[in-house]
């Protein structure tokens, strides 16, 4: 009887160990701090994955660039060293250069058109290229509008950029737009930008509104111009190596849970207005260009776009045409 009891306990322990082995944990990386809208929606995503799977699949997310900056971690996701990543348009375009075309100056007529394009046309447009790059997109990420923070003077129009060393995102789109507008564009990554601003290596930066204010660019560069010259759409991607090792059920849990990222749109857009109002109330010079001044910014876009397409080469012309078709369908 005693031997039978021991055998029963041993089988139970073995079965319990087997169930533990079957449970999977995926590592996820992102640059945004946990209190930010991106950090909070990622927490909702990880909770939803655990809920849907009953704990059989979990996502352990590392906020605030704990696993490295975007330029590093996006490549690690593609190589399968990190399982999942949340990335800006800038980082995603390091894997698929044509994805950067979504951040071309004044691409969309409004946020409604941008949302429609993201929901119905991005996967057909970029799915094959992302597959070739070694990643699987499960959601598109609202990053928000890009604006200008300047140290020494308010930049109202492109003419005010003359002689200004302005940090741009390390992409052709942002860099060539600011170059065409007349600035001395200096592309810099996330970790290099604030030090360059503080030391005077640049005297202005372009940055997404919410993230830029959250990390305090207005404290160093208190002249803020709401150009909204780029509407950034990023991505939530899974390593293709990891994805292919998941069951259809596990893939389904991730895709279903990723629907929560659509909630970012309202959160980011509300935060943009709220934060701009908050820093203006605290003494930051927040400037909304007049219609005439906005027309001057927009007038730079067509010439800049020609240069962007020429320098990107490859499938840029075809991809830009596909984006144009998608925009037409989303009028």
**Position 17 in a domain:** no
Q: What is the pLDDT of residues 71-96, one digit of tens each?
A: 899 999 999 999 999 999 999 999 99
Stretches where the chain sits below pLDDT 50 are 1-21
Task: Note whether 174 and 168 are within 8 A (CB).
Answer: yes
Give how far Cα 99 sits from Cα of 34, 69, 196, 205, Å.
26, 19, 27, 22
**Position 61 in a domain:** yes
pLDDT of 18 reads: 42
Tokens read off for 101: 């075309």
Task: Please report the sign of the dihedral spanned by the C-alpha atoms of residue 89, residue 124, residue 85, residue 267.
Answer: positive
**Position 203 in a domain:** yes
Task: Note whether 184 and 163 are within 8 A (CB).
Answer: yes
Q: What H or E segment, with its residue span, contains residue 136?
A: strand 135-150
**Position 14 in a domain:** no
pLDDT of 22 reads: 63
Q: What is the pLDDT of residues 145-156, one digit of tens each?
A: 999 999 999 999
Domain that holds residue 283: 25-329
Give how far Cα 220 sits from Cα of 13, 100, 197, Å.
59, 28, 7
Give how far Cα 307 sits from Cα of 29, 172, 176, 223, 322, Å.
33, 9, 7, 29, 18
How far is CA 239 from its chain centroid? 16
Q: What is the pLDDT of residues 226-259, one digit of tens each?
A: 999 999 999 999 999 999 999 999 999 999 999 9
The CATH number assigned to the domain holding 30 equals 3.40.190.170
- Give me the percent of the chain exceeding a pLDDT of 90: 86
**Position 34 in a domain:** yes
Number of domains composing the chain: 1
**Position 118 in a domain:** yes
DSSP 222: -
Tokens read off for 215: 């990390």
How far is CA 126 from its chain centroid? 15
What are the residues facing 224 on neighbouring strands? 149, 286
> pTM of the full predicted structure?
0.85
**Position 1 in a domain:** no
């Amino acid at each position: 009887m005693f031997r039978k009891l021991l055998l029963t306990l041993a089988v139970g322990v073995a079965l319990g160990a087997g169930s533990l082995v079957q449970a999977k944990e995926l590592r996820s990386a992102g640059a945004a701090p946990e209190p930010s809208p991106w950090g909070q929606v990622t927490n909702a995503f990880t909770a939803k994955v655990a809920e849907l799977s009953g704990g059989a699949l979990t996502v352990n997310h590392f906020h605030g660039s704990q696993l490295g900056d975007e330029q590093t971690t996006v490549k690690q996701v593609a190589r399968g060293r990190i399982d999942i990543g949340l990335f800006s348009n800038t980082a995603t375009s390091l894997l698929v250069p044509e994805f950067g075309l979504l951040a071309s100056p004044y691409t969309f007529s409004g946020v409604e058109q941008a949302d429609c394009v993201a929901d119905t046309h991005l996967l057909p447009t970029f799915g094959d290229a992302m597959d070739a790059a070694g990643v699987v997109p499960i959601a598109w990420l609202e990053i928000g509008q890009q604006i200008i923070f300047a140290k020494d003077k308010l930049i109202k129009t492109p003419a005010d950029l003359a002689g200004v060393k302005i940090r741009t995102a390390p992409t052709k789109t942002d860099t060539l737009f600011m170059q065409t507008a007349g600035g001395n564009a200096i592309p810099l990554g996330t970790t290099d930008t604030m030090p360059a601003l503080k030391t005077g290596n640049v005297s202005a930066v372009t940055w997404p509104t919410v993230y830029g204010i959250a990390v305090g660019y207005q404290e160093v560069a208190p002249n803020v111009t709401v150009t909204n010259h780029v509407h950034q759409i990023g991505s939530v991607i899974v390593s293709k190596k990891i994805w292919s090792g998941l069951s259809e059920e596990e893939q389904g849990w991730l895709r279903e849970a990723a629907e929560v990222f659509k909630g970012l749109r309202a959160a980011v857009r509300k935060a943009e207005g709220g934060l701009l109002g908050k820093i203006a109330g605290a003494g930051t010079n927040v400037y909304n260009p007049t219609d005439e001044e906005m027309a001057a910014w927009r007038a730079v876009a067509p010439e800049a776009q020609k240069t962007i397409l020429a320098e990107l080469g490859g499938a840029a012309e075809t991809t830009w045409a596909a984006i144009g078709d998608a925009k037409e369908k989303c009028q």
